[in-house]
Amino acid sequence: MSTMTATHVSATHAFGPAQIFANLSVGVLVEHALVRGEGRLASNGALACDTGERTGRSPNDKFLEDSPAIHPNIDWGKVNQPMSPENFAALESLVMATLSRRKHLYRFDGYAGADPAYRLKVSVFTEEAWHSLFAKTLFINADPKDLANWAQDWTIIDAGSLRLDDPAKYGAKGPVCIAQSLEKKTVLIVGTRYAGEIKKSIFYAMNYDLPDRKVFPMHCSCNVDRKDPSNVALFFGLSGTGKTTLSADPNRDLVGDDEHGWSAQGVFNIEGGCYAKCIKLSREGEPEIWNAIRFGSVLENTVVDPSTRVPDYDSAAKTENTRVTYPVSYIANARIPSVAGHPKNVIFLTADAFGVLPPVSKLTHEQAMYYFLNGYTSKLAGTEAGVTEPQPNFSACFGGPFMPRPPMRYAEMLRDRIASHNSNVWLLNTGWTGGPYGTGSRFKLAYTRAFVTAILDGSLAKATWVTHSIFGLSMPTAVAGVPTEVLDPRRTWKDGAAYDLKAKELAQKFRANDAKFAMSDAVRAAGPIA
């Protein structure tokens, strides 16, 4: 208890009499969390916390302030839901008044963006110590000398305990609301303790800001060959498709696992940490992630044995979306600072619940544009509130929930960069084979790793190819370490006619989705035959 009263740092703030504990060390934040009953230490040293009712993001409750300066730049719709400036101001006043009545709050100051030329200063105010530890883990920590005259670019205010009794008064839909203002550079988080909302709000901000600075923001992981710095790879994909798992490679240096920018100089990590799914995690399957879970990391919604304090990574009793966050430096082969050159290979990850797409395909530049714009995958259980089993899902640019601008703006940036740097582009299916979800099985991780190895060592680019009759995708006839019959998805089904029907069904879904985009004839022709 003495630490809680003697080790805090004063900070200028607008929260009335609330005492602010600012930029505390990892150890002190963990002590605060334990004393306040916010979590418990697992046997591996990680702080295990529960997020309560919301165990994933709440995209239906996310709103963007619709100000005149911002309005024409936004792709308004289901993802970017408008909130009037008056409602945003009212919600902000409620949040500030509520937090001013708290006895104490926590503040973290740090950066988003490993390249100093493009980074943002971020300040995060939270009610709970573990949320401040989460921010300290995920963002890039500032040098102590930079904190003396800190003037943030973005402010995140997390009022997770506040619930809206009259949501209509604020233009919200329910008791939970995440509201963001690109003009005020402020994020308000109300009614949810899920820490991922803190992380993703700044990615959203960077996705708006960076294109104006001629930087392509990407929802991807990145690694680089330890001996060949020119061999850089990107892994695009939504949550659960394998970005973190596949980029954690003992033979390559990890740049980052989720969010990056691609500038004229190369790729840089937006974050300072990793946010990995840990359902079914094992030391044998993902040793880099396993070893990164230690003191200073945060487990979310993971079942921990009450007696031994050993985490049960196989349990989905709380959610399928169990998570762990840790500084990128906890990965033994992390690249610090988290910057790299231009990518030689760009890999699109999809978890196809239809069991239709080939496990790996080499894309033309037109196909790359097509599949990037459609961003097909399956929405996996637990990643979002209300999702209890995989569902077919199209998410533009493999990151639709985080993209404020029209998708074509990002797709054009991808096109220009892969053309300028002669990058190979691949579609890698980490989903189902031998049938759809419920009948087939998920591709073996060993096979997926074999595909990645063949891509990164250059051997797959030299393969012999055949063309998928419906999707027009190039499929290799042989890959080292993978049975030949796995390479053609039709051959993995017991009933070829049933496969054809399912493939045509998915093709029709692609065509219905691509009608939303004003793509060129050449790009549209790169899609499937419906």
Question: Of 448, 428, 440, which is closest to residue 502 (Cα–Cα)?
Answer: 440
User: One of 55, 126, 244, 247 is an active-site residue; which one?
Assistant: 244
Residues in the chain: 530
Q: What is the C-alpha to C-alpha distance for residues 463 and 465, in angstroms, rounded to an integer?
A: 6
Nearest to 345 by CA among 258, 230, 511, 265: 230
Report the alpha-carbon distance of residue 339 to residue 332 in Å, rounded.
16
- The reply to whether 57 belongs to the active site is yes
Residue 438: exposure state from Cβ atoms within 10 A (0-12, 13-18, ≥19)? exposed
Q: Which of 119, 193, 243, 379 is catalytic?
A: 243
Supply 494's token pair. 């017991």
Q: Residues of 233-257 as b/e, b for ≥16 C-beta within 10 angstroms?
A: bbbbbbbbbbbbbbbbbeebbbbbb
Active site residue 516: no
**Is position 219 annotated as part of the catalytic site?**
yes
Query: Could you identify the residue written with the tokens 């096979």?
Result: 447
Residue 353 and residue 391 in contact, taking contact as beta carbons nearer than 8 Å: yes
d(CA 395, CA 382): 17
Q: In the annotation, is 244 catalytic?
A: yes
Distance (Å, whole) CA 301 – CA 194? 10
Give the dihedral of Cα atoms 174, 397, 417, 122; nearest 10 deg.
Answer: 20
Q: What b/e sequence results for 90-104 when a residue is b if at least 16 CB atoms lie within 10 Å of its CB, and e otherwise?
A: ebbebbbebbeebeb
Q: Which of 221, 239, 247, 263 is catalytic?
A: 239
| Residues paired with 174 in a beta bridge | none
Choose, from 66, 115, 258, 352, the residue flagged as catalytic.
Answer: 258
Is residue 200 a contact partner of residue 58, using CB atoms and an 8 Å limit?
Answer: no
> Which among 451, 243, 471 is positioned nearest to 356, based on CA atoms?
471
54, 193, 200, 468: which one is catalytic? 200
Spatial CA neighbour of 222 closest among 264, 265, 283, 274: 274
Cβ–Cβ contacts within 10 Å for residue 141, how many?
19
Residue 337: cis peptide before it, omega within 30 degrees of 0: yes
Single out the catalytic residue among 323, 335, 344, 490.
323
Catalytic residue among 8, 32, 54, 57: 57
End-to-end C-alpha distance for the chain, whole angstroms: 66
CA distance linking residue 371 with residue 368, whole number of Å: 5
- Do residues 507 and 529 lie in contact, with contact meaning Cβ atoms separated by under 8 Å? yes
121 an active-site residue?
no
Distance CA 491, CA 444 (A): 16
Question: Which two tokens mark 269?
Answer: 């990590």
Residue of 219, 342, 490, 502 with catalytic role? 219
Residue 177 amino acid letter = C
For residues 136 and 126, the answer to whether their CB atoms sit within 8 Å is no
**468 is a catalytic site residue:** no
Q: Which positions are catalytic?
A: 57, 200, 219, 239, 243-244, 258, 323
